[in-house]
């Protein structure tokens, strides 16, 4: 049943959670299952999770009771702690993996197939949806045409577009800016009527409509899907290396196909972080496997070139310098301005997931003379160690780092054992990928990613007897 959880963890959050619960319940029913769970509970992966969860619960409860800043929401964070509880599902994965390398490999293959299914959907559906969204006119343009575009001057059209982007649809809000009140009222009436049109409503998901195919494609990619596909590609690589070592060409072709589909989906998400992490971790895994490394690295280089051949992916990598500019409001602004100030104000932490965009804006304004540069709508600082520092004080990143280091060390020891199979190769690759990506993205609190942590840590806690 852990294999069923792994399959659906690559596709669906509700189904992944359901099968994880079933897997745990089935283990609890038998004496051997309970013994396997007890062994897994002694692993560094589970003990590190338990320490982190207890720390998060205590700090969040104290913060919820003592912080009075209206721009922080520690009570909300306390309610969301249940997300982290799902990481305990690693016990079910570890118990199944501990029954033998064949069981562990079945889990890895199931996840690779689930991720390939997600990759296939994204690689096909997202480009079609992006083309359709880019082809549709915006509601603002349609509303302006209904309201007689000849009656609007270029400046007035700019005002209308700005008001549209800010969500200002009250005619009274326009009166100070717009002399042609009748035209603006017509525009607003047309805009509100178009809100009910299903296709346009779909095209404006997220509050805005992309005007180009590239922007629409990038808009559709999510961090949850990108990380599923990131680990799915690495799972397929581990399976391919194990199959090549056994000389099983049929399995090699099958697993390579699953990896190719996962990579196609990953490229379609246009998420540069997961793509870069796959390249780095795949290279490390190939070198660690010590089997036909030159040929495998050449294949990896061709995959990297294929990724950069996608204009939208290449464009996302070209935007990296802006993330490290204090003037642009990207990650550098959050890391060097927002996070240190939050820690200065609340050295013991603000609690799990209690940061709001409003609080970030308040800090940003105070440090930049009234100008807001921080990325719109963010409620975290795009870095797991820094976010745990903000949430729980210095114990947060310390416990998190020890947890990840201990789990990764256990996974590496298993991978270095003679004749290590696919699961032994996949476990350190999964954990290394999640940890590397966590340095530039907060990936510990999303429900979908918590299941990926459970899978990765569970494989790290398995012993893979032959």
**pLDDT value of position 466:** 43
Task: Decide: 267 and 313 in contact? Cβ < 8 Å.
Answer: yes
Rounded to whole angstroms, the Cα distance separating 243 from 235 reads 12
* Token pair listed for 233: 């590609």
Longest dimension (CA), the chain: 80
Distance of CA 189 to the CA centre of its chain: 39
> Which pLDDT tens digit goes with each residue over 371-426?
777 777 788 889 999 999 999 999 999 999 999 999 898 888 877 766 667 888 88
Distance (Å) of CA 127 to CA 121, 282, 345 = 10, 26, 45
> Which pLDDT tens digit goes with each residue over 35-70?
888 888 888 888 888 898 889 889 888 888 888 888
Task: Decide: 437 and 230 in contact? Cβ < 8 Å.
Answer: yes
Domain locations in the chain as residue ranges: 2-38+48-130+220-321+381-461, 137-208
Distance (Å) of CA 447 to CA 70, 85, 351 = 26, 10, 18
Question: Could you give the 3-state DSSP secondary structure of residue 165?
Answer: helix
Given a cut of 70, the residues of the chain with pLDDT beneath it are 136-209, 293, 329, 417-420, 463-466
Q: How many residues does the chain have?
A: 466
Task: Decide: 286 and 293 in contact? Cβ < 8 Å.
Answer: yes
Average pLDDT, the chain: 81
223-246 and 272-289 helices cross at what angle (nearest 10)? Answer: 20
* Token pair listed for 403: 């947890």
Task: Determine phi and psi for 19, rounding to 5 degrees.
Answer: -70, -25
Q: DSSP class of residue 178?
A: -
* Token pair listed for 104: 């562990």
* Token pair listed for 308: 């950069």
**pLDDT value of position 44:** 85
**pLDDT value of position 168:** 46
Task: Decide: 360 and 354 in contact? Cβ < 8 Å.
Answer: no
* Token pair listed for 42: 């002694």
């Amino acid at each position: 049943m852990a294999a069923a959880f792994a399959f659906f963890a690559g596709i669906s959050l509700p189904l992944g959670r359901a099968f994880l619960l079933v897997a745990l319940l089935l283990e609890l029913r038998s004496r051997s299952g309970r013994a396997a769970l007890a062994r897994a509970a002694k692993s560094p992966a589970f003990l590190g999770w338990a320490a982190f969860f207890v720390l998060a619960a205590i700090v969040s409860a104290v913060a919820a009771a003592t912080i009075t800043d209206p721009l922080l929401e520690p009570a909300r964070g306390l309610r969301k702690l249940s997300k982290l509880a799902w990481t305990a599902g690693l016990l079910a994965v570890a118990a199944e993996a501990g029954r033998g390398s064949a069981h562990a490999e079945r889990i890895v293959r199931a996840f690779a197939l689930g991720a390939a299914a997600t990759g296939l959907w994204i690689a096909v559906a997202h480009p079609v949806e992006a083309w359709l969204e880019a082809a549709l006119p915006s509601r603002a343009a349609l509303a302006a045409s209904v309201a007689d575009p000849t009656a609007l001057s270029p400046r007035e059209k700019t005002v209308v577009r700005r008001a549209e982007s800010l969500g200002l649809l009250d005619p009274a809000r326009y009166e100070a800016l717009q002399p042609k009140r009748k035209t603006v009222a017509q525009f607003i009436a047309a805009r509100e009527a178009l809100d009910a049109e299903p296709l346009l409503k779909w095209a404006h998901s997220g509050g805005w409509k992309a005007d180009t195919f590239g922007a629409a494609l990038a808009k559709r990619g999510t961090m949850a899907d990108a990380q599923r596909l990131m680990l799915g590609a690495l799972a397929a690589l581990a399976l391919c290396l194990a199959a090549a070592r056994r000389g099983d060409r049929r399995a090699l072709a099958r697993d390579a196909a699953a990896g190719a589909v996962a990579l196609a989906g990953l490229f379609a998400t246009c998420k540069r972080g997961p793509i870069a992490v796959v390249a780095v971790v795949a290279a490390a895994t190939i070198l660690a496997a010590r089997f036909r490394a030159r040929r495998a690295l050449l294949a990896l280089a061709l995959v990297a070139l294929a990724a950069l051949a996608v204009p939208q992916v290449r464009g996302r990598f070209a935007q990296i310098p802006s993330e490290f500019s204090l003037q642009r409001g990207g990650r550098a602004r959050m890391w060097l301005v927002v996070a240190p100030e939050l820690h200065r104000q609340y050295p013991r932490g603000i609690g799990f997931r209690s940061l709001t965009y409003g609080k970030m804006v308040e800090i940003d304004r105070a440090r930049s003379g009234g100008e807001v540069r921080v990325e719109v709508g963010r409620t975290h600082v795009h870095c797991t160690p820094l976010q745990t520092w903000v949430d729980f004080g210095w114990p947060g990143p310390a416990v998190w780092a020890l947890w990840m280091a201990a789990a990764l060390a256990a996974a590496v020891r298993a991978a270095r054992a003679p004749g290590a199979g696919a699961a032994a190769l996949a476990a350190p690759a999964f954990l290394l990928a999640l940890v590397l990506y966590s340095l530039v993205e907060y990936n510990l609190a999303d429900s979908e990613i918590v299941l990926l942590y459970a899978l990765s840590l569970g494989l790290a806690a398995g012993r893979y007897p032959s």
